[in-house]
Amino acid sequence: MFEAAELGRKLSKQEFDQIEPDLHTALLAAQRSLRETDIPVILIVSGVEGAGKGEVVNRLNKWLDTRGIMTTAFWDESDEERERPAYWRFWRRLPPKGNIGIMFGSWYILPIIDFVFGRIDDAEYEKRLQRIWNFEHMLSEDGALIIKFWFHLSEKNQRKKLEKENKDHKYTPILKKFSKHYKDFAKTSEYAIRMTDQGGSPWHIIEADDKLYRDITIGKIIHDALVTRIQKQSDKPSDLTVNEESIISKICKDLTVLDGVDINKKTTEKNYEKQLKKYQKKLNALSWEARKQNRSTIAMFEGWDAAGKGGAIRRMTACIDARLYKTISVAAPTDEEKAQHYLWRFWRHIPRAGYVTIYDRSWYGRVLVERVEGFAHPIEWNRAYQEINEFEEQLVESGIILCKFWIHITKDEQLRRFKEREKTPWKVHKITDEDWRNRDKWDNYKHAINDMVIHTSTEYAPWSLIPGNDKRVARVEVLKTVCDTLEASLDT
């Protein structure tokens, strides 16, 4: 989930200065329009210590007209607050309609801290997250716009920040205490984010290492969310626009989680043959062992057109007994499937205990092709993240071993393969007009993939992003990942 926020995104001072005035003006215009609506806006500013949440709040107060905003830092409880139900302090600071409430810390801070420091148990943590869910759901059903930011730093970057602040004499004892528990916090926060990631109030995970990138990014998200919502609500046309081709994306190198993939990884033919043999042998044995232990496996493949999904799948099926596996190629839904919830057609193919099911494309179509092509409404694909997480949680809970692959290739490599296919008689059927159309939407897909990994790479069902420019590397990595996952999951 956090891997997409450790890519080293940056803005130079010059780039910042070029964007900032326009963004500032646009935000003020959006805020002015907001005041004429009945939409209360709740901005949640949370994240790891050292990520500069205080600076963010200051920046927002500088950018926005302070007459329309209420900022609250939820830190120590006052006597007044302690003597009332815990949510009293949140209720009293809710922004009225047409106003923006900036919640620094908010309702997330205490449950996470209490759980990390062992003050509450699993059941209580679950209950508190459920309460948050209900609270936000209630507000958003009532018309509130809730924008939630989680500011992330990698462990290394957090340590650097803290050391620097120590030198600047700003190092607080609290910071020290928190940084020691980096991994606990990461795990606990990931769970909180996943459990509260609603269609009506989705999370934005922001890479916070570079202040300038961080602030411009949230400014843009806030602006776009305000404008989209105001336009949806009001009948009269407005001057506000969300500029997709904004100066920000032009200036700022548009990194996604795919940029973290070591795409240039190569192997030799000789090494490939050796590795392939090794892992195929292993997988054969493991699939029989899984059968014996009554454990099912689901291996699920997504990837760019021509990324080599089919080839990777064939290297798997080549070594598993044909009685043990089933391959499901996900194409357009049948009539029968269209008459059901989109997850229905995946539920129906869940393997019996002990078998292997391989999906060539999957339920992620909802947040990829259906999103990009507009087949699903933004509300629908936004809530799909939580629906999919819930689905996969049920798979894993029931003992299914789940591997999720995205096979990544570069845009150039795709072009090379497309052309090759067109020239090769026995491959020409594999390239269609649709492939070329999809290729035109490369950047839209890139963002959809990035969001997908952020929202659905969970502790129990992480994504494996596989470098695919060298097909041999991809095939071996897939086999190795399946073997490793099986080994880790089966009783030995």
Which residues are at the interface with a copy of itself (CB under 8 A)? 38, 40, 80, 83-88, 91-92, 94, 96-99, 122-123, 126-127, 130-131, 134, 138-139, 141-142, 144, 199, 294, 296, 336, 339-344, 347-348, 350-354, 383, 386-387, 390, 394-395, 397-398, 400
Contact 190, 459 (CB under 8 A): yes
Alpha helices for 168-308 (secondary structure H): 173-179, 182-195, 211-233, 247-251, 269-292
Residue 175 CB, shortest distance to a copy of itself, in Å, is: 31
* Complex with a copy of itself: residue 200 or 260, whichever CB lies closer: 200
* Complex with a copy of itself: residue 117 or 347, whichever CB lies closer: 347
In Å, how far are 34, 103, 320 from 227, measured between CA atoms?
Answer: 8, 20, 53
Residue 159 CB, shortest distance to a copy of itself, in Å, is: 35
**Closest residue by Cα to residue 132 from 46, 52, 64, 65:** 46
* Complex with a copy of itself: residue 8 or 351, whichever CB lies closer: 351
Residue 333 CB, shortest distance to a copy of itself, in Å, is: 12
Residue 342 CB, shortest distance to a copy of itself, in Å, is: 8
Cα separation, 80 vs 77, whole angstroms: 8
Helical (H) or strand (E) element with 235: none
Cα separation, 483 vs 343, whole angstroms: 27
3-state helix, strand, coil in the chain (%, to 5): 55, 10, 30
* Complex with a copy of itself: residue 138 or 318, whichever CB lies closer: 138
**Closest residue by Cα to residue 385 from 370, 366, 359:** 366
* Complex with a copy of itself: residue 379 or 415, whichever CB lies closer: 379
Contact 125, 180 (CB under 8 A): no
* Complex with a copy of itself: residue 202 or 219, whichever CB lies closer: 202
* Complex with a copy of itself: residue 131 or 211, whichever CB lies closer: 131
* Complex with a copy of itself: residue 208 or 298, whichever CB lies closer: 298
Residue 490 CB, shortest distance to a copy of itself, in Å, is: 17
Structure tokens at 155: 């462990």
In Å, how far are 250, 373, 412 from 442, measured between CA atoms?
Answer: 16, 12, 11
Count of H-run helices and E-run strands, the chain: 21, 10
Residue 366 CB, shortest distance to a copy of itself, in Å, is: 11
Residue 317 CB, shortest distance to a copy of itself, in Å, is: 22
Residue 86 CB, shortest distance to a copy of itself, in Å, is: 7
Helical (H) or strand (E) element with 486: helix 471-489
